[in-house]
């Protein structure tokens, strides 16, 4: 009889297969199962042949092949398939067994499932897994949350297969209770959206304002990837720009409409719910939406012809340096906003998030991996209660040195008619966050004028509320419940 497996994985698509091969390569025995059972045999007789991987043809066979406490990881399409498999698994599992969801589930679903599965005497982990196909095979970033008592059971497998950085530290650690793991994965994906859009805006400025071709841009991204912008997304941009089809850059032939699967939208929606100014990431989602209106944009380009034609007569080298500073500054701002949102969510949902460890989990294996996440880890290790990344001494100095580049690049873009929603969101946040007095005094006056919403005063203690009878026609009663 074959030895019992350390873990069972359900879902033999790109992520499941590669994670199983990764687990096996690290010395774990794995059982593989899939809804369409043919795929089990194809896998076991194909990529898994000769390895410590067992195929199961039913849930019963899968469960029977596992060591206790049993660990079953779902790598299936997010949504109903996860709930369906939970229902199929529960009758076969014993107290203390662990169901793991490694797909891109929305964190409220994970919160609900943790409670449900725990109510059956079982344990549940919802984990973000990032890094795509290659990451899954060679070392992804793994962000687990859920039933804390289950962590010690899965830790050797998860940390064994995760990406390693610097001194061998795994890009995987316990994130927190309930849906915390999937929440952090969602923010990761939102940050990914922001990073990608920022690079795209810089690319358009190079192409349309400076008139650079793909080879010239490739050289600049190559240079930047050797400095503090060193990251996976800069690296692939460098390589994309160099890629030729029939001797011409393929980038010039790709249709300019962006797709999306929804995790960026979730990040923006949750930011609005939490009341966090996650402006840069949210603009990056809207930028994809606007790009998708290709036919409308083509028609509008023939009607709305008023506006500048891009031109540049300044110092090109200096502007490229400003582009680099702008990209760096906006990136810092985007991460500052993302961390602000995680801090707010931790308070809202009662999670104890370790922000330095989150930076470490993102430092390798995932799509946003970068050198600068090492600096973020240091910032939160130095001060776990840091209210805003921009206030960390290292980043405060950096952002102040680079803000001028971000400001000049954004202004140049606007004067040239180039849309830069994320770069401009970045400089607007920077200026908003550092402004002692914003015009919200007028806003409060307006709210009090039409809705008796009251206001606080600069010359009175906080928490005391005043109402003015602005027109002389209103009463003295202020509103307590009507909130616009």
- Map residue 220 onto helix, strand or coil: helix
Query: Does a cis peptide bond (omega within 30 degrees of 0) precede residue 69?
Result: yes
Rounded CA separation 466/460 (Å): 10
Tokens 């949350």 label which residue?
145
State in angstroms the smallest separation of the CB of 391 from ligand NBP. 32
**Contacting residue, 132, 160, 262, 277, with ligand NBP by CB under 6 A:** 132
Q: Is 399 helix (H, G, I), strand (E, B) or coil?
A: helix
Partners of 30 in beta bridges:
7, 53
Residue 104 interacts with ligand NBP (CB under 6 A)? yes
Q: Is 379 in the site for ligand NBP (CB under 6 A)?
A: no
* Binding range to ligand NBP, per CB under 6 A, among 78-86, 237-245, 264-272, 426-434: 78-86
Q: How far is the CB of 135 from ligand NBP (least distance, A)?
A: 8
Please state the closest distance from residue 129 (CB atom) to ligand NBP, in A: 5
Candidate ranges 77-85, 278-286, 368-376, 424-432; the one touching ligand NBP (CB under 6 A): 77-85
Q: Is 190 in the site for ligand NBP (CB under 6 A)?
A: no
14 binds ligand NBP (CB under 6 A): yes
CB of 248 to ligand NBP, least distance (A): 29
Instruction: Rule CB under 6 A: choose which of 77, 244, 347, 457 binds ligand NBP.
Output: 77
Q: Is 16 in the site for ligand NBP (CB under 6 A)?
A: yes
Task: Tell me which stretch binds ligand NBP (CB under 6 A): 25-33, 124-132, 330-338, 463-471.
Answer: 124-132
Burial of 242 (0-12, 13-18, 19+ CB in 10 A): middle
- Per CB under 6 A, the list member of 4, 61, 81, 391 interacting with ligand NBP is 81
Asked if residue 264 binds ligand NBP (CB under 6 A), the reply is no
Q: Give whichever of 34 and 279 is closer to ligand NBP, judged by the CB atom.
A: 34
Per CB under 6 A, 134 contacts ligand NBP: no
By CB under 6 A, is residue 12 in contact with ligand NBP?
yes
Question: Considering the rule CB under 6 A, would residue 262 count as an interface residue with ligand NBP?
Answer: no
- DSSP symbols for 238-270: HHHHH-EETTEEGGGGS-S-----SHHHHHHHH
Q: Which residue is nearest to ligand NBP (CB)?
A: 103
Stretch that binds ligand NBP, among 74-82, 153-161, 170-178, 348-356 (CB under 6 A): 74-82
- Other C-beta atoms lying within 10 Å of the C-beta of residue 441: 13
Residue 195 CA to residue 213 CA, distance in Å, equals 22
The pair phi, psi for residue 135, each rounded to 5°, is -60, -45
Length of the chain in terms of residues written: 484
Whether 192 is catalytic: yes
Q: How far is the CB of 241 from ligand NBP (least distance, A)?
A: 23
Select the span of 28-36, 245-253, 371-379, 455-463 touching ligand NBP (CB under 6 A). 28-36
Closest distance of CB 196 from ligand NBP, Å: 15
Residue 47 lies near ligand NBP (rule: CB under 6 A)? no
Residue from 40, 59, 129, 186 binding ligand NBP (CB under 6 A): 129
Task: Please state at what angle helix 180-204 crosses helix 232-242, rounded to 10 degrees.
Answer: 40
Residue 403 is inside which H or E element, if any? helix 393-415
Considering the complex, what minimum distance in angstroms separates the CB of residue 38 from ligand NBP?
Answer: 9
Structure tokens belonging to residue 440: 């919200």
Residue 87 sits in the site that holds ligand NBP (CB under 6 A): no
Q: Are strands 98-101 and 71-74 parallel, antiparallel or unpaired?
A: parallel
Alpha helices in 249-382 (DSSP H): 263-274, 279-292, 294-303, 316-349, 355-363, 372-382
Beta-bridge mates of residue 5: 66
3 state DSSP class of 134: helix
Q: Which of 17, 24, 153, 192 is catalytic?
A: 192
d(CA 68, CA 96): 9
Q: Are 7 and 127 in contact (CB under 8 A)?
A: no
HSE (side-chain half, CA atoms, 13 Å) at 394: 15
**C-alpha span between 417 and 413 (Å, rounded):** 6
Closer residue to ligand NBP (CB): 129 or 386: 129
Q: Does the protein bind ligand NBP through residue 35 (CB under 6 A)?
A: yes
Alpha-carbon gap, residue 285 to 423, rounded angstroms: 14
Tell me if 236 contacts ligand NBP by CB under 6 A: no
Establish if 386 lies at the interface with ligand NBP (CB under 6 A): no
Q: Tell me: does residue 36 bind ligand NBP (CB under 6 A).
A: yes
Rg (CA), the chain: 26
**Considering 17, 24, 71, 185, which one is annotated as catalytic?**
185
CB of 37 to ligand NBP, least distance (A): 8
Which residue lies nearer to ligand NBP by CB, 178 or 365?
Answer: 365
In angstroms, the CA 127 to CA 103 distance is 7
Number of residues that bind ligand NBP (CB under 6 A): 21
Which residues are known to be catalytic? 185, 192
- Interface with ligand NBP (CB under 6 A): 11-16, 34-36, 39, 75-78, 81, 84, 103-104, 129-130, 132
């Amino acid at each position: 009889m074959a030895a019992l497996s350390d873990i069972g994985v359900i879902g033999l698509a790109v992520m499941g297969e590669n994670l199983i091969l990764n687990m096996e390569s690290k010395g774990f025995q794995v059982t593989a199962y899939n809804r369409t059972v043919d795929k089990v045999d194809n896998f076991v007789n194909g990529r898994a042949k000769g390895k410590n991987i067992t195929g199961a043809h039913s849930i019963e066979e899968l469960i029977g092949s596992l060591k206790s406490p049993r660990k079953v990881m779902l790598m299936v399409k997010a949504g109903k398939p996860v709930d369906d498999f939970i229902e199929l698994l529960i009758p076969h599992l014993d107290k203390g067994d662990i169901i793991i969801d490694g797909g891109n589930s929305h964190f409220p679903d994970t919160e609900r499932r943790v409670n449900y599965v725990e109510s059956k005497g079982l344990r549940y982990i919802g984990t973000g897994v990032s890094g795509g196909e290659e990451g899954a095979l060679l070392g992804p970033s793994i962000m687990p949350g859920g039933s804390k008592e289950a962590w010690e059971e899965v830790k050797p497998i998860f940390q064994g297969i995760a990406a390693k950085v610097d001194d061998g530290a795994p890009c995987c650690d316990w994130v927190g209770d309930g849906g915390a793991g999937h929440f952090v994965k969602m923010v990761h994906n939102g940050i990914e959206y922001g990073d990608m859009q920022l690079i795209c805006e810089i690319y358009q400025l190079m192409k349309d304002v400076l008139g650079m071709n793909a080879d010239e841009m490739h050289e600049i991204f190559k240079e930047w990837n050797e400095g503090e912008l060193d990251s996976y997304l800069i690296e692939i941009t460098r390589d994309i720009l160099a890629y030729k089809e029939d001797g011409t850059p393929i980038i010039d032939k790709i249709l300019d409409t962006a797709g999306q699967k929804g995790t960026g939208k979730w990040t923006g929606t949750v930011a609005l719910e939490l009341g966090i100014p996650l402006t840069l990431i949210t603009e990056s989602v809207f930028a994809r939406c606007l790009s998708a209106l290709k036919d409308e944009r083509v028609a509008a380009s023939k009607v709305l012809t008023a506006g500048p034609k891009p031109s540049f007569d300044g110092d090109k080298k200096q502007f490229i340096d400003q582009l680099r500073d702008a990209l760096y500054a906006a990136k810092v701002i985007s991460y500052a906003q993302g961390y602000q949102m995680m801090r707010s969510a931790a308070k809202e949902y009662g999670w104890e998030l370790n922000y330095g460890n989150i930076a470490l989990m993102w430092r390798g294996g995932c799509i946003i991996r970068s050198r600068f996440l090492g600096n973020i880890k240091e910032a939160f290790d130095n001060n776990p209660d840091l209210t805003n990344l921009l206030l960390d001494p290292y980043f405060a100095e950096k952002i102040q040195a680079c803000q001028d580049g971000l400001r000049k690049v954004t202004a140049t873009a606007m004067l040239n008619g180039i849309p830069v929603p994320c770069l401009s969101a970045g400089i607007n946040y920077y200026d908003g966050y550092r402004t002692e007095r914003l015009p919200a005094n007028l806003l409060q006056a307006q709210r009090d004028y039409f809705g008796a919403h009251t206001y606080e005063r600069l010359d009175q203690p906080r928490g005391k509320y005043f109402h003015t009878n602005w027109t002389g026609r209103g009463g003295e009663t202020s509103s307590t419940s009507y909130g616009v």
